[in-house]
């Protein structure tokens, strides 16, 4: 099964692909998150895996924006423990470093550690790609932040492990596909809606869930870009779109919104390690 992901071999997104689909999956690297969507829409991949939020740094705006415009469905989710390593070329030392390269999210998750070493942070489009870049550069004063797996893949040296500022560091990924997800014992649904700009609009919208006892697990707002200071709301909640109580809530919500889009219902992630 071909599964598109953003980044290069050794990235956390590729780890999420393997964790969800197993080692028999064929991960297909793409440069950007929109390119992951395009690959699945075009049939180049059967599914895609995209990061949507990190437990330290919050939501991934590019993923949320792409979900608004796609015809694809959310069919699954993965919670992945993120443990960052400082990675350099052979012979590099902590004392000799001047710059560190990685994805902006990884740099932000290790902000205090980077500051403690007095390093200059440099953004790169991907964590594993940063490791490959440092290897090609061959400069002992430059290191990358990525996974231990990326260091192994590119035959690089791990200078420090577990350098994230907070130990319970997780990234949530969504699985996107062209069809509907299978039913499961525990399910979630993701939606997007836009509200009229008036007092109490969000309160009334969320009331459609509250009065029916539906538990919201996530709410995120993003600018609509069509009009200043107007927002799209991304909401995850427990239940399946075919459940009677969920159908009633969505029907109620539709009367209060300008736009309502159901992204999909899918099995809620059950972490086998019970880490969360």
Residues annotated as part of the active site: 171, 173
Chain CA centroid to CA 205, Å = 26
Residue 52, C-beta contacts closer than 8 angstroms, at least 6 positions apart: 59, 60, 63, 64, 172, 173, 174
* DSSP β-bridge partners for residue 177: 47, 73
Contact 27, 9 (CB under 8 A): yes
**Short-list 65, 59, 35, 60, CA closest to 225:** 65
Q: If you search the block for the tokens 């059950």, which residue do you land on?
A: 270
What residue spans of the chain are helical by DSSP H?
Answer: 12-21, 33-41, 61-69, 104-109, 111-117, 127-137, 148-153, 201-210, 244-254
**Short-list 82, 138, 145, CA closest to 119:** 145
Residue 276, C-beta contacts closer than 8 angstroms, at least 6 positions apart: 79, 170
């Amino acid at each position: 099964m071909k599964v598109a992901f953003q980044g290069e071999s050794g990235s956390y997104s590729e780890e999420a692909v393997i964790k969800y689909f197993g080692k028999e999956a064929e991960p297909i690297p793409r440069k950007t998150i929109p390119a992951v969507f395009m690959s699945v829409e075009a049939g180049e991949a059967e599914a895609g895996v995209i990061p949507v939020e990190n437990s330290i740094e919050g939501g991934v705006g590019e993923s949320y924006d792409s979900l608004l415009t796609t015809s694809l469905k959310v069919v699954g989710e993965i919670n992945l423990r993120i443990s960052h390593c400082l990675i350099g070329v052979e012979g590099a030392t902590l004392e000799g470093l001047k710059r560190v390269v990685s994805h902006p999210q990884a740099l932000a998750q290790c902000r205090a550690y980077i500051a403690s070493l007095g390093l200059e942070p440099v953004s790169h489009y991907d964590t594993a790609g940063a490791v490959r870049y440092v290897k090609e550069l061959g400069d002992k004063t430059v290191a990358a932040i990525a996974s231990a797996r990326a260091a192994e893949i590119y035959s690089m040296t791990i200078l420090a492990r577990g350098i994230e500022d907070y130990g319970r560091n997780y990234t949530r990924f969504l699985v996107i596909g062209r069809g509907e997800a299978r039913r499961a014992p525990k399910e979630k649904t993701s939606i997007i809606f836009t509200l009229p700009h008036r007092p109490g609009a969000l309160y009334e919208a969320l009331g459609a869930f509250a009065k029916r006892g539906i538990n919201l697990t996530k709410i995120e707002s993003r600018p609509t870009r069509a009009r200043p200071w107007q927002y799209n709301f991304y909401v995850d909640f427990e239940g399946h779109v075919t459940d009677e109580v969920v159908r009633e809530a969505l029907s109620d919500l539709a009367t209060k919104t300008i736009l309502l889009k159901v992204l999909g219902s899918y099995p809620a992630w059950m972490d086998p390690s019970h880490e969360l």
